[in-house]
Amino acid sequence: MASKQVDKYVSWIEEKGGAPDILAETLEALYATGPDDEATQRAQRALARRLEAELPPAIYYDIIEDTPFSPIYLAAGPHGLVSLDFGIPEGDFLAYVHKQSGGEPRPSTEAMAGYVAAVRDYVLGKTHDMPLTVDLSGVTPFQRQVLEEARRVPRGQVSTYGEIARRIGKPKAFRAVGQALRRNPVPIVVPCHRVVASDGTLGGYGGKLGNTRKIQLLKLEGVVFA
Closest by alpha carbon to 149, among 186, 176, 177? 177
Catalytic residue numbers read 192
List phi, psi (to 5°) of 158. Answer: -130, 155
pLDDT band at 149 (very low <50, low <70, confident <90, very high): very high
Residue 152 confidence (pLDDT)? 96
CB-based contacts of 131, cutoff 8 Å, min separation 6 = 118
Q: What ranges in 124-196 are assigned the alpha helix state H?
A: 141-150, 161-167, 174-182
Residue 223 confidence (pLDDT)? 87
Cβ atoms 59, 101 nearer than 8 A? yes
For 45-49, 81-85, 142-146, 205-209, which range has the lowest pLDDT when averaged over its residues?
205-209
Q: Angle at Cα 121 formed by Cα 163 and Cα 57, nearest 5°?
A: 75
pLDDT band at 132 (very low <50, low <70, confident <90, very high): very high
Residue type (1 letter), 62: D
Question: For residues 154 and 195, what is the distance between their CA atoms, to the nearest angstrom?
Answer: 11
Q: How many CB atoms are located within 10 Å of the residue 72 CB?
A: 22
Question: For residues 196 and 194, what is the distance between their CA atoms, to the nearest angstrom?
Answer: 7
Which region, left, alpha or beta, applies to residue 98 given φ > 0 means left and ψ of -120 to 50 means alpha?
alpha
Residue 209 confidence (pLDDT)? 35
Q: How many CB atoms are located within 10 Å of the residue 90 CB?
A: 12
Beta strands in the chain (DSSP E): 60-64, 72-77, 80-86, 106-107, 159-160, 195-196
What is this structure's pTM?
0.73
Residue 14 confidence (pLDDT)? 59
49 versus 90: the higher-pLDDT residue is 90
Helix (H) or strand (E) holding 218: helix 210-220
Largest CA distance in the chain: 100
Average pLDDT over all residues of the chain: 84
Residue 208 confidence (pLDDT)? 37
Read off the pLDDT of residues 108-126 as tens digits, 9 standing for 90 and up.
Answer: 999 999 999 999 999 999 9
Read off the pLDDT of residues 58-108 as tens digits, 9 standing for 90 and up.
Answer: 899 999 998 888 899 999 999 999 999 998 999 999 999 998 887 889 999
Q: Is the dihedral of CA 74, 138, 88, 189 positive or negative?
A: positive
Residue 30 confidence (pLDDT)? 63
What is the average per-residue pLDDT within 169-187?
94
Q: Angle at Cα 131 formed by Cα 126 and Cα 134, nearest 5°?
A: 130
Residue 17 confidence (pLDDT)? 57
What is the average per-residue pLDDT within 7-13?
57
